[in-house]
Every structure is written in structure tokens, then in C-alpha cells.
Amino acid sequence: MKRQTLIKAEEVFFRVIMFLSSMIIAATLFLIIFSIFYKGLPSLSWDMVSQTPKGGFYFGKEGGILNAIVGSIYLAGGSTLLSLAIGLPLALFLNINIVSKKRLVNAIRFFLDLLWGIPSIVYGAFGFTLMIYLGLKTSLLAGIITVTLFILPIMVRAMDEVIKTIPIGLLEASYSLGSTKSETAYRIFFRQTIPGIVTAILLSFGRAIGDAASVLFTTGYTDHMPTSLTQPTATLPLAIFFQLSVPIREVQNRAYASAAILVFIILIISILSRIFARKFQKNQIK
Amino acid sequence: MQQDTKIEVKNLNLYIGKQHILKDINVSIPSNKITVIMGPSGCGKTTLLKSLNRLTDLYPEMKVTGMILIDGEDVFHPIEDITMIRQKMGLLSQRPYPLPMNIQKNVAYGLRISGRKRRKGIDKRVERYLQMVGLWDEVKDRLKDPASTLSIGQQQRLCLARGLAVDPQIILADEPTSALDPLSSQIIEQKFVELKEHYTIVVVTHILRQAKRIADNIVFMYLGEVIEQGPADEVLNNPQEEKTKAYLKGGLY
Ligand SMILES: Nc1ncnc2c1ncn2[C@@H]1O[C@H](COP(=O)(O)OP(=O)(O)O)[C@@H](O)[C@H]1O
Ligand SMILES: [Mg+2]
């Protein structure tokens, strides 16, 4: 009887904790989105998303942040694609080609986790050093390279985590059909983990498009539309930063409008990729 | 009586760390017969089967010595690529692992991998293999459905069809019915009996009755050793070794 009350109490205790933490997360998310939209929506106009900054934009005059929107999409899109091109083969390689070398694999995982933990400002500084070394100017390309370095460990480890859950039976099935390692990787493991891979891509894209510190020294900033990889480009995080630092209410509200746009882009990308992932989810072997 | 030997295992030893898992195994597996490897759980049946197509490569902790000859070619030192050797053998595992794609593509993967996926007539050939395993009528209207939506029994037959599509000469099966319901198990057993005309079949089982139903040839293992082997009626009806006798009476685990 006593034990039973104890078990009950324990259950209630953990339920309360679970409920509280869910509430904290939900409330935080709600507050962030609410404050962004509350302050930003009134300033959000068609001009904001369809025009580049005109003279005096940062003092509350005409214009928009199309340059930053496009710049950010180029930057995040470019670095996500580049990371995918490097990261997917790497994650598959870890789990197929060298999976039996457990120590090596663990060392690589540890190393990637370490890189994951480094703050993006350090990548920014490193990217800047690299730029000087390579003789690059602040540009979209320099930004893409830096952001790729920054999101690559995130993407690889996120993919790795899903790929490593594949049961060894599927690997055996694939090999016993006579598949090579790359057929196993790209025709079977890849398909099996597409939903997880999409999540990894999304996570990386979110980090890439939202990070200010890594692009601070590397992409530069301009009011013009980005037209080539070697030109500097504006980005949304920096656009928000600059507008927020101006002591004019009107401009600060536009910063929130810009943040709303950023959130909106991430939302659209999330929804699209979910739809895409669902198409493949049904094929997954449990 | 001399018969065609398809697989010859010679002095095979397998270690995992200090553990001696397979102890000096010598086995001959005849062509176009069903050879049943039987023995209590943990005696090394699965490990022996995986050695045949070198799935042991996946487990770096396993150290293997000895020879396994398939048509005279040593799988540990093959002239061809190991993937070509593996294509000579289809594998059915204890629980089916269909590929993460639709039913038709599962079979087509088998065709493709063996380089026989000419676009033309692929549907026909997929149908033929599904017919061979008695699955066609059940799935012909849902070929585009994910393989994962089939029942476990159907999945196991799909895996058999996929394996046959690679055009192997040998079928390896590791307790292929242990996850299946009685009816599906019966279908699998019956398919093996039909298929042995064209294939060499090796079935691992710990179910004595299954061995009695389908075996032409029996290899009895105990604690990593082959205790006795030979034609089924000899081993089952007139065992020579004490351990075999005890096992057949149900007194050895
Ligand atoms: N990967 C492995 N690591 C450690 N021990 C293993 C491994 N695979 C098999 N074994 C051991 O080898 C022995 C034989 O296993 P197995 O071939 O699966 O037996 P069976 O299929 O006859 O039940 C068992 O004692 C098992 O614990
Ligand atoms: Mg077994």
C-alpha cells in the first residue's frame, strides 16, 4: 500500500515537471513569435519585401530589405547545398565504409561534436583569416564558405544520428544481394533516412540563415542586390542588427518586420520539406 | 554415393575475441538439395551461414581461418569481386528486411543489381518472380505500395522474390520462418521444396519437425562443432553420435 502511494506520487511529480517544461517551451516560442509579429507586422509592407534600401532608409525613409532577403537566401541556400554535398557522403561513409572501425568513427563523432560547440563568431573570425589568406574580399562566396564550415558539423552529426539507427539486418540484406558499398549508401540507406536527412538539412539551413556572427566579417554589407559570388551582400540578421541599432522607433520596428520575414522564410522551408519528407516516410522500414 | 558438391567448407574456424565460435568446421553441401543446419540456439548456425557469403566482413571482431569453396572458388580469396560471389547466394534472414521502397522496386532492385534491368519487359520479370514465391495474386493491385505495408509473412516472400531476381544459384535461409505465422511458414517451406530443382538450398533451423519435413541432407551442430552430417534419413533415423541421438530425443539443449 505504501509503495503504491509512492509510485503514484512519483508519477504525479514527473507529470508536473513534464507539463511545466512543455509550457515553458511553448510559452517562449509563443512570446518570441508574438513580440516579433506584434512589433513588426505594422511596419511590414509590400515595399519592405520588394525594394532595396533607398537613400535615408536607415533614417526611416523609403525602401525595403529585398537585398538582404535575397542575400540571405543565396547565402543559406548556397552553404546548405555545399554542406549537403560534403556532409551526406561523409555521414554515409562513417556509417557504411568505416563503421567497423569503431574507434575511428567515435573519434570523428567526438571531433564533429566539438566543432558543433564552437560559437559562430569564432567561425566568423576564422573565415576572415581564411579570406585574407586566399586573397578574397568580403563577398557572398566568403560568406558561403564560412557558413558552410559552421553548419557542416551540425549537418553531418544530425544525419549521422539517423543513419546509425538503421538496423544491421538491412545492411546485411543489402550486401547479400550483392550491393556495393555505394549502392548500399545511396540506394538504400539514403532512402531509408530521407526524413531524417531532411530534418538535418532544415536544421542547418535555419542556423545558416539566422546567424549574424559568422557573416559579420565575411559577407560585408551593401544596399545593392547581390549579383555575383564575388560581390558583398546584405543578409537578414545583419539587416536586423543595423536597423535595431538605429535610435529611431520607425526603423527599429522595421527590424522586427525583418525578423518576421526571417521567421516566415524558415516556416515556409520547414513546411515544404515536411511535405517532401512525408512522401518518403511511408517507405521506411521499421 | 557421390554427389555434386556446391559448397565445401574446409577447416573453418571463427573466433570472436578469445571465444572460439566455430570449431574446425568441415561441411559439404550438395547441389540441388535442401541442406538443413540444425542444432540448439547459440551453437553457431547463424555465424556459419553468414560465413558462407562473407557477411562476417561486417563484424570486425570476427576472425576467420580456413576455406569456403563455392564451385571450387574460395570466398575468402576470390578471383571475382566479393559482391559477385554474394550474388550467387540469396539470403533470407530471421526477420525480413525489405528495402525502403515500393513492392515492385524491391524485386526490380534484385534485377538491377545483377545487371539485368533492361527497361523492356521489367514488369514481366518482376511478375515472374512474384509468381514464383506465390505473392503475385496478393500484391498485383498494390505494386506501388511500400513494402513495409505487407504482412511479415508476405515481406519474407518478397525478400525471397528479390533474392531470386538476382539470379543466384544458392539460397541461404536463417530460421526463415521463425517470425512467421504457421500458414506463411508452410508456404515458405513448400517454396523451398519447389525451388530445389534449380537451386542449392541451405536452411538453418532449430525446429526439429521443420528439418524432418524438408531436409534432404542434415548438418547437426552443437557448441560450435559439427557433430554429424549426411543424408537426412540416415542422420534422423540412424544417428551415429550420442549427441545427435540426445538432440533428436529432445534431451539436448
Ligand atoms: N557479433 C557477435 N559478438 C559476440 N558474440 C557473438 C556475435 N555473434 C554471435 N556471437 C556468439 O556466437 C555464438 C553463436 O551464435 P549464433 O551463430 O548466432 O548461434 P545460432 O544461430 O546457432 O543460435 C553465440 O554464443 C553468440 O553469443
Ligand atoms: Mg541464429
CATH number at residue A153: 1.10.3720.10
Element (H, E) at A177: none
Does residue B89 carry a pLDDT above 50?
yes
Find the CB nearest A283 among B50, B102, B163.
B102
Contact B53, B249 (CB under 8 A): no
Residue A14 lies in a domain: yes
Residues A196 and A242 in one domain: yes
* Nearest residue in chain A measured CA to CA from B49: A176
Does residue B2 carry a pLDDT above 60?
no
Residues A65 and A15 in one domain: no
CB contacts, 8 Å: B56 with chain A:
none
Calpha distance B160→B107 (Å, rounded): 9
Does residue A19 carry a pLDDT above 70?
yes
Cβ distance B172 to A176 less than 8 Å, yes or no, reads yes
Contact A61, A47 (CB under 8 A): no
Which cell numbers hold the place of B230?
A: 549426411
Residue B9 is predicted with a pLDDT of 96
> How much is the average pLDDT of B221-237?
95
Residues A177 and A249 in one domain: yes
Nearest residue to A166 (alpha-carbon basis) of A200, A198, A199, A196? A196
Best A104, A165, A172, A176 member to test B by mutation, with max B CBs in 10 Å, is: A176
Contact A226, A140 (CB under 8 A): yes
Nearest residue to B30 (alpha-carbon basis) of B170, B165, B175? B170
Structural domain range at position A130: 50-281
> How much is the average pLDDT of B181-191?
92
CB atoms within 10 A of CB B223: 14
Calpha distance A86→A214 (Å, rounded): 19
- Give the pLDDT confidence of A263-272 residue by residue, as tens digits: 999 999 888 8
Cβ distance A173 to B159 less than 8 Å, yes or no, reads yes
Residue A244 lies in a domain: yes
Residues A68 and A33 in one domain: no
The alpha carbon of residue A138 is apart from the nearest alpha carbon of chain B, in Å, by 45
Strands (E), chain B: 5-16, 19-30, 34-38, 62-70, 73-74, 89-92, 170-174, 200-205, 217-222, 225-231
Residue B147 is predicted with a pLDDT of 95
Ligand 1 atom with the smallest distance to the CA of B50 is 17
The alpha carbon of residue B198 is apart from the nearest alpha carbon of chain A, in Å, by 18
Identify the band that residue B232 occupies on the pLDDT scale cut at 50, 70 and 90: very high
Which cell numbers hold the place of B89?
A: 547466394
Ligand 1 atom with the smallest distance to the CA of B48 is 17
> How much is the average pLDDT of B174-183?
92
Angle at B59 between CA B54 and CA B64, to 5 degrees: 55
Residue type, B22: L
Residue A239 lies in a domain: yes
Sheet holding B225-231: strands in order across?
B89-92, B170-174, B200-205, B34-38, B217-222, B225-231
Q: Which residues contact residue A282 at a Cβ distance below 8 angstroms, ignoring those fewer than 6 apart?
A: B146, B148, B149
Residues A19 and A90 in one domain: no
Calpha distance A188→A251 (Å, rounded): 52
Residue B253 is predicted with a pLDDT of 59
Residues A28 and A164 in one domain: no
Beta bridge partners of A264: none
Residues A205 and A247 in one domain: yes
CB atoms within 10 A of CB B246: 14
Which residue carries 536463417 as its cell? B174
Determine if ligand 1 sits within 6 Å of the CB of residue B178.
no
Determine if ligand 1 sits within 6 Å of the CB of residue B40.
no
In a mutational test of the pocket of ligand 1, which residue from B47, B91, B204, B206 has the highest number of ligand atoms less than 8 Å from its CB? B47
* Nearest residue in chain B measured CA to CA from A97: B58
Q: What is the mean pLDDT of chain A?
A: 92
- Give the pLDDT confidence of B101-154 residue by residue, as tens digits: 999 999 999 998 887 666 677 889 999 999 999 999 999 999 999 999 999 999
Please identify among residues 87-106 of chain B the ones whose CB lies closer than 8 Å to any CB of chain A: 87, 89-91, 93, 95, 97-102
Residues A77 and A183 in one domain: yes
Residue A60 lies in a domain: yes
CB contacts, 8 Å: B53 with chain A:
175-176
Does residue A252 carry a pLDDT above 60?
yes
Cα–Cα separations (whole angstroms), residue A217 to A147, A224, A259:
12, 18, 21
Q: How many domains does chain A have?
A: 2
> How much is the average pLDDT of B18-25?
96
Q: Is B116 on the interface with A (CB under 8 A)?
A: no
Residue A92 lies in a domain: yes
ipTM of the complex: 0.92
Q: How far is the CA of B72 from the centre of ligand 2 (A)?
A: 27
Report the SS3 class of residue B5: strand
CB atoms within 10 A of CB B146: 21
Cβ distance B58 to A178 less than 8 Å, yes or no, reads no
Contact B66, B35 (CB under 8 A): no
Find the CB nearest B60 among A100, A167, A188.
A100
Ligand 1 atom with the smallest distance to the CA of B41 is 23
Q: How far is the CA of B44 from the centre of ligand 2 (A)?
A: 7
Nearest residue to A242 (alpha-carbon basis) of A225, A230, A259, A228? A259
Instruction: Give the residue, by CA position, lying nearest to ligand 1 atom 17.
Output: B44
Best A283, A284, A286 member to test B by mutation, with max B CBs in 10 Å, is: A283
Q: Can you state the angle between helices A249-281 and A66-96, rounded to 10 degrees?
A: 30
pTM: 0.86
Calpha distance B70→B53 (Å, rounded): 10
Does residue A210 carry a pLDDT above 60?
yes
Does residue A166 carry a pLDDT above 70?
yes
> How much is the average pLDDT of A15-28?
95
Residue B251 is predicted with a pLDDT of 63
Residue A286 lies in a domain: no
Cβ distance A173 to B99 less than 8 Å, yes or no, reads yes
Which residue carries 556446391 as its cell? B6
The alpha carbon of residue B168 is apart from the nearest alpha carbon of chain A, in Å, by 9
How many alpha carbons lie under 13 Å from residue B51 in its C-beta half-sphere?
A: 28
Q: Which residues contact residue B184 at a Cβ distance below 8 angstroms, ignoring those fewer than 6 apart?
A: B151, B152, B153, B154, B156, B157, B177
Residues A33 and A157 in one domain: no
* Nearest residue in chain B measured CA to CA from A167: B97
Residue A56 lies in a domain: yes
Does residue A85 carry a pLDDT above 90?
yes
Residues A194 and A150 in one domain: yes
Residue A101 lies in a domain: yes
Identify the band that residue B1 occupies on the pLDDT scale cut at 50, 70 and 90: very low
Residues A89 and A221 in one domain: yes
The alpha carbon of residue B7 is apart from the nearest alpha carbon of chain A, in Å, by 17
Residues A110 and A251 in one domain: yes
Beta bridge partners of A172: none
The alpha carbon of residue A172 is apart from the nearest alpha carbon of chain B, in Å, by 7
Residue A236 is predicted with a pLDDT of 95
